[in-house]
Amino acid sequence: MLPDGTGVVSALGDPTSAERITYRLLGGALDRAWKLSRWIERGRHARVEARAGECPTFACPIPRAGAVARRALALRPRFVFGMEVFQYGLATALCRGVPRILMPWGGDIYLYAEASAVSFNMVRRALSRVDLLCPSAKTAASHLAVRFGIPASRIRTISWGVDRPRFRRADTGRREETFARFGIDPSRRLFLNVRRFLPIWGCDVALEVFRRYARVDPAAHFVMLGGIGTEGMVREAREALRADGLEGRFTLFEGDTAFDDCIDLMAVADVFLSLMRVPDMRSASIVQASYAGGIPVLSDQPEYREMERDGFRALFVDPVDTDGIVAALRECVGKPWLAEEIRAANERYIDEHEDHEVQMARLREAIEEVCGKYGV
pLDDT tens across 307-339, in order?
Answer: 999 999 999 999 999 999 999 999 999 999 999
pLDDT, tens digit, 9 for 90 and up, residues 22-66: 888 998 999 999 999 999 998 998 888 887 777 889 998 999 999
Smallest Cα–Cα separation from 324: which of 225, 199, 212, 214? Answer: 212
When pLDDT is cut at 50, 70 and 90, the band that residue 6 belongs to is low
Give the whole-angstrom CA distance, residue 262 versus residue 288.
10
Q: What is the pLDDT of residue 200?
A: 85
Of the two residues 297 and 6, the one the predictor is more confident about is 297
Indicate the pLDDT class of residue 10, thresholds 50, 70 and 90.
low
Structurally, what CATH architecture does the domain formed by 172-353 represent? Answer: 3-Layer(aba) Sandwich (3.40)
φ and ψ of 306, to 5 deg? -60, -40
Q: How confident is the model at residue 253 (pLDDT cuts 50, 70, 90)?
A: very high
Taking alpha carbons only, the member of 151, 136, 90, 102 closest to residue 279 is 136
Burial of 10 (0-12, 13-18, 19+ CB in 10 A): exposed
pLDDT at 54: 77
Residue 319 CA to residue 201 CA, distance in Å, equals 10
Residue 12: its pLDDT value, please?
A: 61
Average pLDDT, the chain: 92
171 exposed, middle or buried (CB, 10 Å; 0-12, 13-18, 19+)?
A: exposed
pLDDT of residue 9 exceeding 90, the answer is: no
d(CA 199, CA 203): 5
Residue 169 has pLDDT above 60, yes or no: yes
Q: pLDDT category, 227, cuts 50, 70, 90?
A: confident
CA separation, residue 30 to residues 45, 60, 119, 121, 127 (Å): 16, 8, 11, 14, 21
| 237 φ/ψ angles, rounded to the nearest 5 degrees | -65, -40
Average pLDDT for residues 213-230, to the nearest whole number?
A: 94
Task: Name the maximum alpha-carbon separation found in the chain.
Answer: 66
Q: Which residues contact 190 (CB under 8 A, 6 or more apart)?
A: 184, 220, 221, 222, 223, 265, 268, 269, 270, 271
For the chain, residues classed under CATH 3.40.50.2000 are 17-161+357-374, 172-353
Q: In the predicted model, is pLDDT for residue 156 greater than 70? A: yes
Please tell me the CATH code under which domain 17-161+357-374 is placed.
Answer: 3.40.50.2000
Q: How far apart are CA 336 and CA 273, in angstroms?
A: 18
Given pLDDT bands bounded at 50, 70 and 90, which one contains residue 4? Answer: low
Give the pLDDT of residue 255. 86
pLDDT of residue 375: 86
Closest Cα to residue 115, out of 59, 64, 155, 196? 59
Region of residue 290 (left: phi > 0; alpha: psi -120 to 50; beta: else): alpha
Asked if residue 1 has pLDDT above 80, the reply is no
